[in-house]
Amino acid sequence: MNFRGIWIIGLFTTIQWAGAVLPDEKNNIEVYQKCHTAVVNITATTLRRDFFFDIIPQRGVGSGAIIRGDGYIVTNDHVIGGAQNVEVTLFDKTSIPAKVVGSDPTTDLAVLKINPPAQMNVLEYNLNPLSVGQKVLAIGNPFGLGGSLSVGIISSLGRDIRTPSEGLLKDVIQTDAAINPGNSGGPLLDSSGKLIGINAQIVSKSGGNEGIGFAINGRTVKKIVDQLIQFGKVTRPELGLYGISLDKRVLSYLKIPKDVGLMVTQIAQTGSAAQAGLREATKELIVGFYRIPIDGDVIFQLDDTPVGSLRDLRDYLGEKKVGDVVKIHFYRNQKVKVVSVILKSNQDKKYLDRST
């Protein structure tokens, strides 16, 4: 009898639990209801020519986050690519043409502008420090299924990843919240519904979610977005030179005791490198079928950081600001030289197309 009474009480309690909304579930519901109207679907159309030179439209889809009430939306650069036509679909299925205000392939971010039909919901940033284990929510357009919510945690912080353009993204958020194709450009939110990142990439062998996703940190997003809205581009420092990597065999032939180095092959006339007196290669070394430029300056270090490629150069300069002073360590005629340069803006446009 007592057993039956306990069983009945237990059954009643179980039924109560099944019908109730748990606190964590309630939070998920509240965040979704608060924020999903500030998330948009993006369709980017690019015109390509097929084998017969006929123009064929190709469409890509992604997500975006409304960040200002006057119609500014942030998304990934790889979502819009070189699209000739971009369309934004709001939560109520209203489709509106969008203008690309600016994009930054280095950080894989872009800003769109629409003429809002009415007052729009806007996501606010949370720029405070984050913690591993913190709850996060992703809203987006996976596989074209708009308004989808997934929940997870911050798995790690401070990750470094490469963007599709080979730019180095630092301080990236790793999450296990389900991120799939179409989620790119959508917001990663904290439990109060504030934007802490923009979903950008996944690690996957299947092409779908496997529990490792990456979001661009909100601090990076805000810094880049503010520049794109104001200037339409991002101001970065550069040296105004182009070069090729040399391996240990070539450097040994040139009597340079280094494992790697960057041979300067071209210098922009108005760049920092030219003003510092660096010299570009004027001769070629023929090795088999290869022609290797020689007789120019070989850069091997910036300040205290070893450099052996243009990627190394860009990564280091990415941490600097216009007007900063950098010491370039290089070999000229088998002798080490050091010169200090003031970094100029990449908007000083008498630069090489491929310069850094």
Rg of the chain over Cα atoms, rounded to whole angstroms, equals 26
Q: How many CB atoms lie within 10 A of CB 266?
A: 18
Q: Contact, 153 vs 178, CB < 8 A?
A: no
Q: How many CB atoms lie within 10 A of CB 350?
A: 10
Beta bridge partners of 98: 86
Which amino acid type is present at position 235?
T
347: left (phi over 0), alpha (psi -120 to 50) or beta: alpha
Catalytic pick among 77, 104, 108, 190: 108
Kindly give the residue spans of alpha helices, DSSP state H, lying in 36-160: 77-80
- Residue 166, CA distances (Å) to 130, 132, 306, 311 in order: 26, 27, 19, 8
108 included as an active-site residue: yes
Q: Distance (Å, rounded) from C-alpha 343 to C-alpha 323?
A: 5
Q: Distance (Å, rounded) from C-alpha 311 to C-alpha 33?
A: 43
Q: Contact, 153 vs 133, CB < 8 A?
A: yes
Q: Contact, 174 vs 154, CB < 8 A?
A: yes
Q: Contact, 207 vs 181, CB < 8 A?
A: yes
Kindly give the residue spans of alpha helices, DSSP state H, lying in 20-71: 23-35
**Given the structure tokens 């301080």, which residue do they identify?**
171
Take residue 278 and report the two structure tokens written for it: 């660096």
78 included as an active-site residue: yes
Q: Distance (Å, rounded) from C-alpha 309 to C-alpha 299?
A: 9
Let me know if 287 is exposed, middle or buried by CB neighbors in 10 A (0-12, 13-18, 19+): exposed
Q: Distance (Å, rounded) from C-alpha 257 to C-alpha 157?
A: 38
Q: Distance (Å, rounded) from C-alpha 72 to C-alpha 118?
A: 13
The residues assigned a catalytic role are 78, 108, 184
